[in-house]
Amino acid sequence: MNQRSTAAFLWPDPPELPPPAIMDQRWAEAVFLHWRIPEHATARFMPPGVQPDLFDGSSWVGLIGFRMEKAGLGRGPGIPYLGSFNEVNVRLYSRQPDGTRGVVFLSLDADRLPVVLAARAAGVPYVWSRIRRFTSRPAAGAVGYSVRRFRQGAGSNFAAVPQTDAAAEDPLSIFLTARFGMHGTFRGRSIYIPNTHKPWPLRAARLRHLEDGLVAAAGISVKGPPESVLYSPGVRTRFGRPRLLPGPGQREGGGA
């Protein structure tokens, strides 16, 4: 299949989550920056039993900023104060042998300390940071994020200008954003945490500025401007129960 010319690869049907849902939230004002990197640069970050997911023969690393809104447990209402915050993450793209696609987070910066502490206790690599989301005057139309870690000092400052008349429906944009789960490790075992959401309403965007130290701090080297720059006003998403990935000679397990 020619990924650059066929529409068959475009938005897969969002998966149905088996009940119960463990979390409901909205991701808003998302800016996606992506670089092409060699496959060998990502393989060492994959959990056991998971491999890099490739597009056009390459792995990809993303720097993504967005606003978390109304995050709540189950299908309940958003948790006041703690359920809304800014986040910037660095992520890679992963695939199980059965074809299940996901992301592997190298870092997640958030500006709510209790959220960071709770996530780290569950094995998710959150970092407490000062994050500012900003938009420029309407004539310029830029959306961006500025982040600085309270410890270690790494940070990033980036902004993009959405092209309101340019929907991003190409195979690469869909490959990078049609991700319905994350791969990670918990107590030494590989896990997959599924989520579901409608297709991102994506727009092509023009990079306004970029000063980044988070990708390098995560252990990935990139050069030059990102090859893909996207913007979305956001989607609502739900998360399902984590499930264990099978070890050698095992079948896939249930909830973690």
Q: What is the pLDDT of residue 145?
A: 98
- C-alpha to C-alpha distance for 123 and 198, rounded to whole angstroms: 27
CATH code (residue 169)? 2.40.400.10
Residue 1 maps to a domain: no
Q: What is the pLDDT of residue 3?
A: 42
Q: Do 187 and 172 meet the contact criterion of CB atoms below 8 Å apart?
A: no
Tokens of 199: 């297709």
What does the chain come to in residues?
256
**Owning domain of residue 230:** 20-240
Nearest one of 102, 97, 22, 104 to 251, comparing CA atoms: 97
Residue type, 99: G
Residue 144 maps to a domain: yes
Q: What is the pLDDT of residue 34?
A: 98
Tokens of 219: 């252990």
Residue 4 maps to a domain: no
Q: What is the pLDDT of residue 46?
A: 97
Q: Do 9 and 170 meet the contact criterion of CB atoms below 8 Å apart?
A: no
Q: Output the pTM of the full model.
A: 0.89
Q: What is the pLDDT of residue 138?
A: 54
Residue 6 maps to a domain: no
Residue 248 maps to a domain: no
Which residues in the chain show pLDDT less than 50? 1-9, 256
SS3 string, the chain, reads CCCCCCHHHCCCCCCCCCCCCCEEEEEEEEEEEEEEECCHHHHCCCCCCCEECCECCEEEEEEEEEEEEEEEECCCCCCCCCCCEEEEEEEEEEECCCCCEEEEEEEEEECCHHHHHHHHHCCCCEEEEEEEEEECCCCCCCEEEEEEECCCCCEEEEEEEEEEEEECCCHHHHHHHCCCEEEEEECCEEEEEEEEECCCCCEEEEEEEEEECHHHHCCCCCCCCCCEEEEEEEEEEEECCCEECCCCCCCCCCEC
Residue 11 maps to a domain: no
Q: What is the pLDDT of residue 140?
A: 61
Q: Do 33 and 158 meet the contact criterion of CB atoms below 8 Å apart?
A: yes
> What's the pLDDT tens digit per position in 59-96?
999 999 999 987 656 565 556 556 789 999 999 999 99
Residue 191 maps to a domain: yes
- C-alpha to C-alpha distance for 208 and 223, rounded to whole angstroms: 17
Q: In total, how many domains does the chain have? A: 1
Tokens of 45: 């970050």
Residue 224 maps to a domain: yes
- C-alpha to C-alpha distance for 199 and 20, rounded to whole angstroms: 22
